Amino acid sequence: MRKIFFAIVLILPFLANANDWAFTSQFSSLGFSLGVGKPISSNVNGRLTANLFSYDDTITESGIDYDVGLDLSSVGFLLDWHPSHSDFRVTFGGYYNGNEADLEAQSLTGTFNINGVVYNAADVGSLRGDVSYGSSAPYLGVGWGNINGNKAGWGMAWDLGVLYQGSPDVGLDVTCGTSLTAGQCATLTADVMAESLQLRTSIEDQKWYPVFSLGVLYRF
Protein backbone atom coordinates (compact mmCIF):
# COMPACT_ATOMS: atom_id res chain seq x y z
CA MET A 1 0.00 0.00 0.00
CA ARG A 2 2.85 2.42 0.76
CA LYS A 3 4.22 1.85 -2.76
CA ILE A 4 0.79 2.72 -4.19
CA PHE A 5 0.68 5.90 -2.08
CA PHE A 6 4.08 7.13 -3.24
CA ALA A 7 3.31 6.21 -6.85
CA ILE A 8 0.21 8.42 -6.71
CA VAL A 9 2.21 11.20 -5.07
CA LEU A 10 4.66 11.09 -7.98
CA ILE A 11 1.96 11.42 -10.64
CA LEU A 12 -0.03 14.14 -8.85
CA PRO A 13 2.03 17.07 -10.21
CA PHE A 14 1.62 15.81 -13.79
CA LEU A 15 -2.15 15.45 -13.38
CA ALA A 16 -2.52 18.77 -11.62
CA ASN A 17 -0.79 20.65 -14.45
CA ALA A 18 -3.50 19.58 -16.87
CA ASN A 19 -6.43 21.91 -17.59
CA ASP A 20 -9.39 21.81 -15.17
CA TRP A 21 -7.56 19.67 -12.63
CA ALA A 22 -7.31 20.64 -8.97
CA PHE A 23 -4.89 19.59 -6.25
CA THR A 24 -5.95 18.82 -2.65
CA SER A 25 -3.98 18.42 0.56
CA GLN A 26 -5.69 17.49 3.84
CA PHE A 27 -5.09 16.14 7.32
CA SER A 28 -7.71 13.57 8.23
CA SER A 29 -8.59 10.63 10.44
CA LEU A 30 -7.31 8.48 7.56
CA GLY A 31 -3.90 10.13 7.73
CA PHE A 32 -2.14 12.75 5.64
CA SER A 33 -4.00 13.01 2.34
CA LEU A 34 -2.93 14.14 -1.13
CA GLY A 35 -5.27 14.11 -4.09
CA VAL A 36 -6.37 15.42 -7.44
CA GLY A 37 -9.81 16.13 -8.82
CA LYS A 38 -11.49 17.02 -12.07
CA PRO A 39 -15.01 18.19 -12.99
CA ILE A 40 -17.23 15.55 -14.59
CA SER A 41 -20.24 17.79 -15.12
CA SER A 42 -21.31 21.28 -14.02
CA ASN A 43 -22.08 20.10 -10.46
CA VAL A 44 -20.30 16.72 -10.16
CA ASN A 45 -16.55 16.31 -9.59
CA GLY A 46 -14.36 13.25 -9.37
CA ARG A 47 -11.48 12.92 -6.90
CA LEU A 48 -8.60 10.52 -6.35
CA THR A 49 -7.00 10.64 -2.89
CA ALA A 50 -4.14 8.79 -1.24
CA ASN A 51 -3.86 8.65 2.56
CA LEU A 52 -1.01 7.50 4.79
CA PHE A 53 -0.12 7.69 8.49
CA SER A 54 1.44 5.51 11.21
CA TYR A 55 1.57 5.78 14.97
CA ASP A 56 2.03 3.70 18.11
CA ASP A 57 -0.36 3.49 21.03
CA THR A 58 -1.27 1.37 24.05
CA ILE A 59 -4.73 -0.13 24.55
CA THR A 60 -6.37 -2.50 27.00
CA GLU A 61 -8.82 -5.08 25.66
CA SER A 62 -10.35 -7.96 27.61
CA GLY A 63 -8.01 -7.19 30.49
CA ILE A 64 -4.83 -7.46 28.41
CA ASP A 65 -2.52 -4.50 27.71
CA TYR A 66 -1.32 -4.28 24.11
CA ASP A 67 1.33 -2.16 22.43
CA VAL A 68 -0.28 -1.25 19.12
CA GLY A 69 1.41 -0.24 15.88
CA LEU A 70 -1.29 1.27 13.66
CA ASP A 71 -0.70 1.71 9.93
CA LEU A 72 -3.29 3.77 8.04
CA SER A 73 -3.08 3.55 4.26
CA SER A 74 -5.89 3.91 1.73
CA VAL A 75 -6.70 5.14 -1.77
CA GLY A 76 -10.09 6.76 -2.36
CA PHE A 77 -12.14 7.08 -5.55
CA LEU A 78 -14.80 9.71 -4.81
CA LEU A 79 -17.61 11.63 -6.50
CA ASP A 80 -18.68 15.05 -5.18
CA TRP A 81 -22.20 16.31 -5.93
CA HIS A 82 -22.67 20.04 -5.39
CA PRO A 83 -26.37 20.99 -5.00
CA SER A 84 -27.12 24.31 -6.67
CA HIS A 85 -23.48 24.41 -7.80
CA SER A 86 -22.43 25.57 -4.32
CA ASP A 87 -19.26 24.79 -2.38
CA PHE A 88 -21.24 22.37 -0.18
CA ARG A 89 -20.90 18.80 -1.42
CA VAL A 90 -22.33 15.35 -0.86
CA THR A 91 -19.63 12.73 -1.43
CA PHE A 92 -19.89 9.03 -2.13
CA GLY A 93 -17.46 6.46 -3.44
CA GLY A 94 -15.08 3.87 -2.11
CA TYR A 95 -11.60 3.23 -0.75
CA TYR A 96 -9.01 0.59 -1.33
CA ASN A 97 -8.41 0.01 2.37
CA GLY A 98 -5.07 -1.10 3.78
CA ASN A 99 -5.65 -0.03 7.40
CA GLU A 100 -4.15 -2.55 9.84
CA ALA A 101 -2.62 -2.86 13.30
CA ASP A 102 0.03 -5.03 14.94
CA LEU A 103 -0.46 -6.03 18.58
CA GLU A 104 2.00 -7.16 21.23
CA ALA A 105 0.72 -8.04 24.71
CA GLN A 106 2.56 -6.60 27.68
CA SER A 107 2.26 -7.74 31.30
CA LEU A 108 2.46 -5.03 33.93
CA THR A 109 1.76 -7.46 36.78
CA GLY A 110 3.78 -10.51 35.74
CA THR A 111 0.64 -12.39 34.68
CA PHE A 112 -1.82 -12.55 31.80
CA ASN A 113 -5.55 -13.17 32.13
CA ILE A 114 -6.33 -15.08 28.94
CA ASN A 115 -9.89 -16.27 28.40
CA GLY A 116 -10.45 -16.00 32.16
CA VAL A 117 -7.39 -18.12 33.02
CA VAL A 118 -4.41 -16.51 34.78
CA TYR A 119 -1.00 -17.41 33.30
CA ASN A 120 2.45 -16.35 34.44
CA ALA A 121 4.06 -14.07 31.86
CA ALA A 122 7.07 -16.40 31.66
CA ASP A 123 4.77 -19.31 30.77
CA VAL A 124 3.14 -17.33 27.97
CA GLY A 125 6.44 -16.34 26.39
CA SER A 126 5.07 -13.94 23.78
CA LEU A 127 1.57 -13.01 22.67
CA ARG A 128 1.26 -11.12 19.39
CA GLY A 129 -1.50 -10.44 16.94
CA ASP A 130 -2.79 -8.37 14.07
CA VAL A 131 -6.01 -6.64 13.04
CA SER A 132 -6.99 -6.07 9.43
CA TYR A 133 -10.07 -5.19 7.39
CA GLY A 134 -11.59 -5.84 4.00
CA SER A 135 -9.76 -4.20 1.13
CA SER A 136 -12.94 -2.62 -0.27
CA ALA A 137 -14.64 0.08 1.82
CA PRO A 138 -17.63 2.20 0.68
CA TYR A 139 -17.77 5.84 1.80
CA LEU A 140 -20.55 8.40 2.29
CA GLY A 141 -20.18 11.91 3.62
CA VAL A 142 -20.62 15.65 3.24
CA GLY A 143 -18.07 18.39 2.86
CA TRP A 144 -17.08 21.82 1.61
CA GLY A 145 -14.90 22.85 -1.29
CA ASN A 146 -15.60 22.91 -5.02
CA ILE A 147 -12.77 22.07 -7.39
CA ASN A 148 -14.92 23.32 -10.29
CA GLY A 149 -14.57 27.01 -9.43
CA ASN A 150 -14.70 30.00 -11.72
CA LYS A 151 -11.24 31.18 -10.75
CA ALA A 152 -7.90 29.48 -10.33
CA GLY A 153 -6.36 29.64 -6.88
CA TRP A 154 -6.60 28.41 -3.33
CA GLY A 155 -9.64 27.34 -1.37
CA MET A 156 -10.58 25.58 1.87
CA ALA A 157 -11.80 21.99 1.98
CA TRP A 158 -13.27 19.80 4.72
CA ASP A 159 -15.07 16.47 4.87
CA LEU A 160 -17.20 14.62 7.41
CA GLY A 161 -18.39 11.09 6.72
CA VAL A 162 -18.16 7.41 7.49
CA LEU A 163 -16.19 4.55 5.95
CA TYR A 164 -17.60 1.05 6.14
CA GLN A 165 -14.54 -1.18 6.40
CA GLY A 166 -16.37 -4.30 7.59
CA SER A 167 -15.85 -6.51 10.61
CA PRO A 168 -12.19 -6.74 11.63
CA ASP A 169 -10.13 -9.87 11.12
CA VAL A 170 -8.25 -10.57 14.34
CA GLY A 171 -5.47 -13.09 14.84
CA LEU A 172 -3.54 -13.79 18.05
CA ASP A 173 -0.52 -16.09 18.20
CA VAL A 174 1.22 -17.32 21.31
CA THR A 175 4.67 -18.76 21.87
CA CYS A 176 4.57 -21.05 24.89
CA GLY A 177 7.23 -20.67 27.55
CA THR A 178 9.77 -23.46 27.91
CA SER A 179 8.39 -24.37 31.33
CA LEU A 180 5.07 -25.57 29.90
CA THR A 181 4.42 -29.18 28.99
CA ALA A 182 2.94 -30.05 25.61
CA GLY A 183 -0.49 -30.44 27.20
CA GLN A 184 -0.28 -27.11 29.01
CA CYS A 185 0.85 -25.45 25.79
CA ALA A 186 -2.17 -26.90 23.95
CA THR A 187 -4.48 -25.53 26.65
CA LEU A 188 -2.86 -22.10 26.44
CA THR A 189 -3.19 -22.11 22.64
CA ALA A 190 -6.90 -22.93 22.93
CA ASP A 191 -7.39 -20.10 25.43
CA VAL A 192 -5.61 -17.68 23.09
CA MET A 193 -7.94 -18.69 20.24
CA ALA A 194 -10.93 -17.97 22.49
CA GLU A 195 -9.34 -14.66 23.52
CA SER A 196 -8.95 -13.78 19.85
CA LEU A 197 -12.72 -14.16 19.35
CA GLN A 198 -13.39 -11.96 22.38
CA LEU A 199 -11.03 -9.30 21.05
CA ARG A 200 -12.79 -9.37 17.68
CA THR A 201 -16.15 -8.85 19.39
CA SER A 202 -14.83 -5.97 21.52
CA ILE A 203 -13.65 -4.00 18.46
CA GLU A 204 -16.58 -4.94 16.22
CA ASP A 205 -17.81 -1.34 16.16
CA GLN A 206 -14.68 -0.32 14.24
CA LYS A 207 -16.32 -1.60 11.07
CA TRP A 208 -17.81 1.92 10.88
CA TYR A 209 -14.82 4.26 10.72
CA PRO A 210 -15.48 8.01 11.13
CA VAL A 211 -13.76 10.22 8.58
CA PHE A 212 -13.10 13.90 9.13
CA SER A 213 -10.58 16.05 7.31
CA LEU A 214 -9.48 19.66 6.92
CA GLY A 215 -7.19 21.11 4.32
CA VAL A 216 -6.81 23.14 1.17
CA LEU A 217 -7.39 22.82 -2.54
CA TYR A 218 -5.82 24.58 -5.49
CA ARG A 219 -7.59 25.02 -8.83
CA PHE A 220 -5.42 25.31 -11.93
Average pLDDT score over residue span 55-81:
91
Q: How far is CA 183 from the centre of its chain?
A: 39
Q: pLDDT tens, 80-117?
A: 999 988 899 999 999 999 999 999 999 888 888 999 89
Q: How far apart are CA 118 and CA 121, in angstroms?
A: 9
Give this prediction's pTM: 0.82
Q: Rg of the chain over CA atoms, in angstroms?
A: 22
Q: pLDDT tens, 175-197?
A: 998 889 899 999 999 999 999 99
CATH for the stretch 2-219: 2.40.160.170
Q: How far apart are CA 136 and CA 39, in angstroms?
A: 24
DSSP string, 86-119: -SEEEEEEEEEE--EEEEEEE-SSSEEEETTEEE
